[in-house]
């Protein structure tokens, strides 16, 4: 009962535990709506491990979890991976988290770390 997010440029972000109605809004905000949808992976427990190899190196620790270094299996690039437990988040926290992911998935700017992928486990 966790979800993982993968971000390049040394940062990582979030996801929620319930179905995303707000994903439609993220698509509408994005300059590339198909990209928003293709980067959110629901129910693909093994998907993260298929695409990213976690090295075990801890990059940082915050209130919501650890950020660890990973390498892309297909491109060798460095990525930051953050795994969050849906069980430990309160209802209000999940709403806030969903909104942040929705916005971050729609942002494409050279000064902001790109949220590459979000994986949600059942």
Annotated binding-site residues for ATP read: 82
Residues in the chain, how many? Answer: 122
Distance in angstroms (rounded) separating the CA atoms of residues 42 and 33: 17
What are the distances in angstroms from CA 12 to CA 32, 85, 117? 21, 15, 10
What six digits make up the tokens of 30? 């994005």
Secondary structure element (H or E) that encloses residue 26, with its range: helix 23-29
């Amino acid at each position: 009962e966790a979800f993982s997010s993968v971000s390049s440029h040394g940062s990582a972000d979030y996801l929620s535990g319930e179905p995303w109605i707000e994903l439609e809004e993220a698509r509408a905000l994005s300059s590339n709506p198909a990209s928003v949808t293709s980067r959110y992976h629901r129910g693909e427990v093994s998907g993260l491990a298929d695409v990213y190899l976690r090295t075990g190196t801890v990059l940082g620790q915050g209130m919501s979890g650890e950020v660890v270094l990973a390498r892309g299996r297909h491109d060798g690039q460095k990525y930051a991976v953050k795994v969050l437990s849906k069980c430990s988040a309160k209802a209000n926290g999940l709403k806030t988290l969903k909104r942040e992911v929705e916005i971050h998935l729609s942002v494409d700017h050279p000064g902001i770390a790109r949220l590459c992928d979000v994986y949600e486990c059942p």
